[in-house]
Amino acid sequence: MEEKLVLASSSPRRRELLSQIGLSFEVAKAYGEEVQRGNTPMEVVQNLAKDKAKEVCLRYREEGKLLCPTVFLGADTVVSFDDVILGKPADEQEAYDMILSLSGREHQVHTGVCLAKAEDDKVMYHCFAETTTVSVYPISHEEIMEYIKSKEPMDKAGAYGIQGTFAKFIKEIKGDYTNVVGLPLGRVYQELKNC
């Protein structure tokens, strides 16, 4: 890949994942309000990812930073349970309710990715999504309260981070582990090669 790569996300987890596979990239946070559009979690995450990539791409163009072919990588992750999207909890009660709903059950984690390739005056968008199924052991009231006290669930979709202390409650994963962390690395790398 010869293009410049810009990660349109301030997520430390996504930065770590891209660094893990040796990619060079810049980070530019997308500031727009997240508006969920789509009929399925897969459509919603792809639209959110595209919004982020598009916003940062336009900002780079307006600021005159678009000096060479650039690929803007937008990504968004949601957790769904019974086709209901569980976003980031607004407060501790919502975090509790989310974790309780996942306890002893299976749910899906969807990550949408949009690669916006900007060259000259045109931008080409390529979006895709990956889904991973996660099974969670039963979690007691006390365990949920202890986890919430750690503040770990408050900025994460579905109120948990698989790479943190919540890992002790994970029974099984069907699919890409890095997708649950926030970016399906293998798929992203393959798609970037074809960009």
pLDDT tens track for 40-93: 999 999 999 999 999 999 999 888 777 778 999 999 999 999 889 998 899 999
Size of the chain, expressed as the number of residues it contains = 195
- Structural domain of residue 113, as residue ranges? 4-193
Domain tally for the chain? 1
**124-132 average pLDDT score:** 96
pLDDT tens track for 36-47: 888 899 999 999
pLDDT tens track for 179-188: 999 999 999 9
Predicted TM-score (pTM) of this structure: 0.91
pLDDT tens track for 1-16: 468 999 999 889 999 9
Catalytic residue among 51, 76, 91, 121: 76
Does the annotation count 120 as an active-site position?
A: no
Which of 132, 133, 138, 114 is closest to 124 using CA atoms? 114
CATH number at residue 139: 3.90.950.10
Q: Taking the C-alpha atoms of 100, 113, 176 and 136 in order, what is their torsion angle to the nearest 10 degrees? A: 0
Pairwise CA distance, residues 54 & 9, whole Å: 12
Calculate the alpha carbon distances from 62 to 30, 51, 59, 82, 132 in Å: 14, 16, 5, 42, 37
Helix%, strand%, coil% for the chain, nearest 5 = 40, 30, 30
